[in-house]
Chains A and B, each alone.
Chain A
Amino acid sequence: MFGESFPLLSLLIWLPILGGIWVIIAGTNDQARPIALIISLVTFLLSLPLYLEFDITTATMQFSEQFSWIPTFGIYYHLGIDGFSMPLILLTTFMTVLVIIAGWEVIQYKVAQYMAAFLIMEGLMVGVFSALDAMLFYVFWEAMLVPMFIIIGVWGGSRRIYATMKFFLYTFLGSVLMLISLLYLHYQAQSFAILDFHALRIPMTAQILIFLSFLVAFAVKVPMWPVHTWLPDAHVEAPTGGSVILAAIMLKMGGYGFLRFSLPITPDASRELDWLIIGLSLIAILYIAFVAIVQQDMKKLIAYSSISHMGFATLGFFIAFRIFDHTGSMDMNGGAMAIEGGMVQMISHGFISGALFLCVGVLYDRLHSRQIADYGGVVNTMPRFAMYAVLFAMANSGLPATSGFVGEFLVIISSFKASFWIAFFAATILILGAAYTLWMVKRVIFGSVANEGVAALKDINLRETVVLASLAVAVLFFGLYPAPMLDVMHQSVQNLLQHIAQSKVL
């Protein structure tokens, strides 16, 4: 559909950003909604060729664009995607459309700015996933915080200032250390190209320091224990749309960072410190699951559930070294399965956590409470909503035939190759994940009508149905047929495994 040299990625970045600016200028609330919807829809449709014309037989960067940007420092405007970034970009463009629709009636205050913030953020997030120049990446990475900061700060709940400050400081402090590492790498490679970084040989001590500095930046984003406490606060205060984007896409940037930076640039440090990541991942899976069980606030519960589920992504990314060691060979197959499992987990979690936050949003819009105790017996008055809520809850519990199962399944069966006990602790998600999710469902959805508020609830309207149904289709489709999602990753994963299987110590 598009020629070789068509700057599709740039279009996907700048169309929503410029569109967002136009929405602000165009001004009125009534116009802002349809304009924003059209822009996001067009962006989504334009992102489809990334999948349709994606060459799954190669790990080289595709849809590349490169212009000199700041020649003095050798900084390029360099874009391109592989099997890791492409699915995440599609996830971004897809979720943005849903978020715009979800905010249609709910947001009545500064509608244009609200819509614009999401569009601009969409462009910046696509930028993060497609940037191949470290500085460009860093600019998108930091810039992306601003719209989110505004979204929580302006349209958020009562403690929004505390939450935004915590969110901003955590993520900002994390990335400052990353910047230092990037400058060091530039000094070594005489280039800011990320692919040049991949080719570097770096002394062990430096690798460890770089690894740790990346770790801080990415661990905050994922988030990993113990730098996760900003997330529940941010989610609780954020408006529904903000929570959806935060959970569905922003968290994925941490995982993406591990794949794009930590593993290929510092493979030896990764191998040396894999126990740290594995340990933190298992803590996330177990500890956070226990914490999720006792939450009284639905959004907090889902936020903790997100942390727990993201533990599977980080576990999958770093388990490969243990598989190499334990099977006594370079078992690329086990490693590939683990990394692909982590990637699938990230994408699927995007759908499921987004859907769950949207479900809470549906309830919040009606009763203005997120407390589990304020609900009960919602199924009596909102049967169609209950159907979706139970489906997404089951997906969150990792039920087969939903996308939630695929990633967990792959990570658990491949981590068994590394160690029985790692698989053992990871598999507790089967019990704990079901426990916190379904216990919430029991208290909120089932039972007899708890109070007058619930008795007066109206079932979801067409707009809400469209949003939830599209996510339901995605969750079921990738649960029943995950092959297409994995096929696009195979080459990139093999390429990554080649990088980490060899030493890059100078």
Chain B
Amino acid sequence: MQNILLAIVLAPLFGAIIAGLFPVSRCVAHSVTIVGVGLSFVLSLYVFKYIVMGGHEPYNQTVYIWLSSGGLNIQVGFLIDSLSALMMVVVTFVSWMVHIYTIGYMHDDPGYQRFFSYISLFTFSMLMLVMANNFMQLFFGWEAVGLVSYLLIGFWYTRESAIFANLKAFLVNRVGDFGFLLGIAGVLMYFGSLDYAQVFDLAHQGHQQNTLVEIIPGYQWSIITVICLLLFMGAMGKSAQFPLHVWLPDSMEGPTPISALIHAATMVTAGIFMVARMSPLYEMSETALSVILVIGAITAFFMGLLGLVQNDIKRVVAYSTLSQLGYMTVALGASAYAAGMFHLMTHAFFKALLFLGAGSVIIAMHHDQDIRNMGGLKKYMPITYWTALIGSLALIGFPGFAGFFSKDAIIEAAHHAYQAGRGGAGFAYYSVLIGVFITALYSFRMFFLVFHGKERMDEHTRKHLHETPAVITLPLILLAIPSVFIGWLTIKPLLFNDFFGNAIWVTEAHQIFEAAEYHGVLAFIEHGMMQLPFWLAMAGLATAYFLYLVKPELPSVIAQRFQIVYRILVNKYGFDEFYQAIFAGGTRDIGNNLWKTGDLKLIDGMMVNGTAAVVGFLSSVVRHLQTGYLYHYAFTMMLGLAVLLGVFVLN
């Protein structure tokens, strides 16, 4: 088993090294990485079958001891249970699709080999993250995916906007990681270990459950809550939750394949995965779960609104991703970890599909990303059109499509938490509910603007419009299949059959689906169609149809009417400007002040050169004593003698 697992992580790493460090041809670069990731995918399927279908015990083994210090052995090892097995399959599959797609998308790019190297390195890092059996390795994978994200956002490094965005992404993520690392330190201090199994065992036993700490004098906090919130800071960075969401839209500066792979399907879901993995800890803290609910709800609702006013095709999808990550976070906060993971998986497929579809459109449009210049693309790009339609329907939760099941489950969970009277659940429930309308509205706004209506592009572009090549459409088709079917294939095991077993742990009071009865897919759909979310989604779709196809002049009238709201949305609530002024500007001000006043003026100016000046002054005084006149010296000697004599006499 260990060899298989090692092969799964090392195959992409090998590909990355070959493609990145050796002067290989384009063909070798994409072959070696695609074969590597493909191998990972096939083996992941095998592991999934072995652990999940075969009903084997979770695999938990050390590969090597990273270091030992202070009686603690920190290892590198693998924990493979249904949770990590599921993530492995999702990650390797989407990554594999993106690898293939990249052949077409990056066809003319001079950095072809480098790109393949990066995305394979990403796959390695992401696998290390999900397969980790301890906090240190989790942090390793966590930061490593951040590194690759940095490299890929700045892939086109001559663009000022790209290298601004990648620095921003890295630093915002570091703010999250700052909390994350402190959380890990807290785990070590209060549980005495960094090993998942040991820590979670202790947590199950209620270890440290009643320990209070006083971090700010006068305030007693439960240590579990503190640890959970610190760890969640990491998730807020990586999964772009409010208020650390600002980096994700800018990350769209990177090439489209990585927007699909890293900034939609896999890396950004690491935070969701992490909280699900830590469920034994989070279940111990109602407060932390409430905070998660509220943060998730804010992200789901307010980021969705921003999707309504964006005109860059990738940014619309990016804000949609933010909003959907908010949905997943709400699920976590409602203790419906399984529902969160379920949505993570379905979202990975349909959002990767939407991004790659957007990429396909962008290629056809000669890298014009403004949806105002598109329209009527349906007849030129039928495959892209139909797959994008499937992706959009899955996203808005149209009955039967993948997103329908997972989103319904989340709303159900939020509703349940609301009824149970959990803090913040009411706000969360209404946010995700109204969010359904918004999701449908922005999704189909984009869909209609791109594929239907008037052809607004210039003549030259129109003449060259045609469907993209097979390396691009094939991944679209392959991703469209799970976007349709994965929901009703997996809802039963994931939500109702205790698929995750011991991997996710929910206290009895928080259980929702485990207790609910399940009557089959059709009954679930039938039930869903009678519920409010379905009608909200339909309303959103209809509104989009009316606004952008029936009366296309209306949206700008509305924008005019509600100038203030529109401006706020276009400015993204002003977070970018605020952070830029306060944090980026503030840091530079502090730095300049400390340097110029502290180092140069006080230390060097007064202390160092001051000392030199004082010494200089003293010596200039003392120098007067050395006049060179003998009688001056004689007088001084007499004076000294007199003083000495005086001292002796008086004693």
Residue ranges of A at the interface with B (Cβ–Cβ < 8 Å): 166, 226, 229, 287, 290-295, 332-338, 340-341, 377, 379-380, 390, 394, 399-401, 405-406, 409-410, 412-417, 420-421, 423-424, 427-428, 430-432, 434-435, 438-439, 442, 445-448, 480-483, 485-487, 490
Contact of A434 among B64, B66, B68, B171 (CB under 8 A): B171
Q: Is B634 interfacial (CB-CB < 8 Å)? A: no
Q: Does the CB pair B178–A416 fall under 8 Å? A: no
A337 touches B69 (CB 8 A): yes
Given the contacts A446-B163, A482-B67, A291 and B587 also touching, CB distance less than 8 Å: no
**Interface class of chain A by DSSP:** helix
CA distance A413 to B147 in the complex (A): 22
Q: In whole angstroms, how far apart are the Cα atoms of A166 and B413 in the complex?
A: 67
Contacts of A377 in B (CB 8 A): 157-158
Contacts beyond the supplied A400-B136, A435-B174: 10 A-B pairs with Cβ under 8 Å: A229-B599, A337-B69, A409-B139, A412-B181, A417-B189, A420-B215, A423-B182, A423-B185, A430-B174, A448-B160
Contact A334 B182 (CB under 8 A): no
Of A294, A414, A420, the contact of B591 (CB 8 Å cutoff) = A294
Whether B163 lies near A447 (C-beta < 8 A) is: yes
| Complex contacts, B588 vs chain A, CB 8 Å | 293-294
Interface residues of B in 582-597 (CB under 8 A from A): 587-588, 590-592, 594-595
Whether B171 and A431, one on each chain, are in contact in the complex, defined by CB atoms closer than 8 angstroms, is yes
The 7 closest A-B pairs by CB, nearest first: A337-B70, A416-B185, A294-B591, A333-B70, A413-B185, A400-B140, A336-B70
CB B230 to nearest CB in A, in angstroms, measures: 10
* A to B CB contacts below 8 Å, 16 in the list: A290-B591, A290-B594, A291-B594, A291-B599, A294-B588, A335-B70, A338-B70, A340-B70, A377-B158, A399-B147, A400-B143, A400-B144, A409-B139, A409-B181, A431-B171, A481-B66
Asked if B487 is an interface residue, CB under 8 A from chain A, the answer is no
Given the complex, which residues of B lie within 8 Å of A414, measured CB to CB?
A: 70, 185
Q: Could you tell me which B residues sit within 8 Å of A by CB distance? A: 64-72, 136, 139-140, 143-144, 147, 150-151, 154, 157-158, 160, 163-164, 167, 170-171, 174-175, 177-178, 181-182, 184-186, 188-189, 213, 215, 587-588, 590-592, 594-595, 598-599, 603-604, 607-608
Q: Is the CB of A416 within 8 A of B139?
A: no
Q: Given that A294-B591, A400-B140 are known contacts, is A483 also in contact with B71, CB under 8 Å in the complex? A: no
Q: How far is the CA of A198 from the CA of B64 in the complex (A)?
A: 37
Bound-state CA distance A416–B181 (Å) is 10
* Residues of chain A with a CB closer than 8 A to B594's CB: 287, 290-291
A76→B121 CA distance, assembly (Å): 56
Contacts of B213 in A (CB 8 A): 420
- By a CB distance below 8 angstroms, the chain B residues around A483 are 65-68
Give every chain A residue within 8 A of B163 (Cβ-Cβ). Answer: 442, 446-447
- Specify which chain B residues have a CB less than 8 angstroms from the CB of A482 in the assembled complex: 66-67
Knowing A290-B587, A483-B67 are in contact, say whether A447-B185 is a contact too (CB < 8 A).
Answer: no
Q: Which of A335, A435, A448 has the most CB of B within 10 A?
A: A435
Whether B599 and A413, one on each chain, are in contact in the complex, defined by CB atoms closer than 8 angstroms, is no
Task: Give the complex CA separation of A414 and B587 in angstroms.
Answer: 28
Q: Tell me whether B158 and A406 are in contact (CB under 8 A).
A: no
Contact at A229–B608, with CB atoms within 8 Å? yes
**Least Cβ–Cβ distance between A361 and chain B, in angstroms:** 23
A337 to B194, CA, bound (A): 14
- Asked if B147 and A394 make an inter-chain contact with CB atoms under 8 angstroms apart, the answer reads yes
Question: Is A430's CB under 8 angstroms from B177's CB?
Answer: yes
CB-defined contacts of B147 to chain A, threshold 8 Å: 394, 399
Question: B68 contacts which chain A residues (CB < 8 A)?
Answer: 483, 486-487, 490
Known contacts A229-B599, A294-B592, A336 near B67 by CB under 8 Å: no
Given A336-B70, A486-B69, A428–B591 Cβ distance below 8 Å?
no
Complex Cα spacing A226 to B181, Å:
29
Across the interface, name the chain B residue whose C-beta is closest to A449.
B158
- Contact A166 B608, beta carbon cutoff 8 Å: yes
Return B589 CB to nearest CB of chain A, in Å. Answer: 9
- A406 and B66 CA atoms in complex are apart in Å by 10
Evaluate whether A293 and B188 lie within 8 angstroms (CB atoms) in the complex, with A379-B157, A394-B147, A447-B157 already known: no
Q: In the bound complex, how far is the Cα of B591 from the Cα of A435, in angstroms?
A: 12
Distance, CA A406 to CA B67, complexed state (A) = 9
Q: Are B70 and A447 interface neighbours, CB within 8 A?
A: no
Q: Would you give the shortest CB distance from B580 to chain A, in whole angstroms?
A: 13
**Shortest CB distance B158–A (Å):** 4
Query: Is the Cβ of B174 less than 8 Å from the Cβ of A434?
Result: yes
Does the CB pair A226–B189 fall under 8 Å?
no
CB distance from A490 to the nearest CB of B (A): 8
Given contacts A290-B591, A290-B594, contact A336 B174 (CB under 8 A): no
User: What is the distance, in angstroms, from B244's C-beta to the closest C-beta of chain A?
Assistant: 12
Chain A residues, CB < 8 A from B139 = 400, 409
Tell me how far the C-beta of B567 lies from the nearest C-beta in chain A, rounded to whole angstroms: 31
The residue on A at minimum CB distance from B20 is: A387
Are the C-beta atoms of A486 and B591 separated by less than 8 Å? no
CA distance A415 to B181 in the complex (A): 12
Min C-beta distance of A475 to chain B, whole Å: 14
Q: Is the CB of A334 within 8 A of B136?
A: no
Closest residue on chain A to residue B114 by CB atoms: A383
Max chain A Cβ within 10 angstroms of own Cβ: one of B140, B144, B607? B140
Inter-subunit contact A229/B604 (CB<8 Å)? yes
Q: In the complex, A341→B588 CA distance in Å?
A: 30
B-side contacts of A293, CB under 8 Å = 587-588, 591
Q: Is A410 within 8 A of B171, CB to CB?
A: no
CB contact under 8 A between A416 and B186, given known A293-B588, A428-B178: yes
In the assembled complex, the Cα of A379 lies from the Cα of B158 at a distance in Å of 9
Nearest residue, chain B, Cβ from A227? B603
- Report the bound CA distance from A295 to B595 in whole Å: 9
- Name which of B67, B68, B151, B186 has the most chain A CB atoms within 10 A of its CB: B67
Please name all residues of chain B whose beta carbon is closer than 8 Å to the beta carbon of A379 when the two chains form the complex.
157
Chain A residues whose CB sits within 8 angstroms of the CB of B158 once the complex forms: 377, 380, 446-448
In the assembly, what is the distance between CA of A6 and CA of B581, in Å?
Answer: 64
By the criterion CB–CB under 8 Å, are B69 and A340 in contact? yes
Query: Are A446 and B144 in contact (CB-based, < 8 A)?
Result: no
CB atoms of A438 and B170 under 8 A apart: yes
For the complex formed, measure the closest distance between the CB of B611 and the CB atoms of chain A, giving whole angstroms: 9
Q: Complex formed: what's the CA distance from A113 to B204 in Å?
A: 68
Q: Identify the closest chain B residue to A295 (Cβ).
A: B595
**Closest Cβ of chain A: how far from B270's Cβ, in Å?**
14
* Nearest-Cβ distance from residue B363 to partner chain A, whole angstroms: 24
Q: How far is the CB of A479 from chain B (nearest CB, A)?
A: 9
Question: Within the complex, what minimum Cβ distance (angstroms) separates B601 from chain A?
Answer: 11
Q: Using Cβ atoms and an 8 Å threshold, which residues of chain B touch A487?
A: 68
- Are B64 and A481 within 8 A (Cβ)? yes
- Complex: A413 Cα to B598 Cα, angstroms: 30
A409, B180: Cα distance in complex, Å:
12
B130 to nearest A CB, angstroms? Answer: 16
State A401–B125 Cα separation when bound (angstroms).
11
Q: Are A333 and B177 in contact (CB under 8 A)?
A: no
Question: Is the Cβ of B178 less than 8 Å from the Cβ of A334?
Answer: no
Min C-beta distance of B441 to chain A, whole Å: 37
Query: Does A401 contact B178, Cβ atoms closer than 8 Å?
Result: no
* Residues of the B chain whose Cβ atoms lie less than 8 Å from the Cβ of A438: 150, 167, 170-171
Q: Are B70 and A416 in contact (CB under 8 A)?
A: no
Shortest distance from the beta carbon of A315 to any chain B beta carbon, whole Å = 14
**A166 — nearest CB in chain B belongs to which residue?**
B608
| Residues of A with C-beta under 8 A to B182 | 412, 416, 420, 423-424, 427
B227 to chain A, nearest CB (A): 10
Known contacts A291-B599, A294-B591, A486 near B67 by CB under 8 Å: yes
A412 to B213, CA, bound (A): 18
Q: By the criterion CB–CB under 8 Å, are A294 and B595 in contact?
A: yes
Q: Which residues of A contact B70 (CB under 8 A)?
A: 332-338, 340, 414
Q: Shortest CB–CB separation between residue A423 and chain B, in angstroms?
A: 6
Residues of A within 8 A of B604 (CB): 229
Choose among A290, A336, A446, A490 the residue that contacts B154 (Cβ–Cβ < 8 A): A446
Whether B181 lies near A435 (C-beta < 8 A) is: no
Decide yes or no: A430 and B181 within 8 Å by CB, A406-B67, A435-B171 being known contacts. Answer: yes
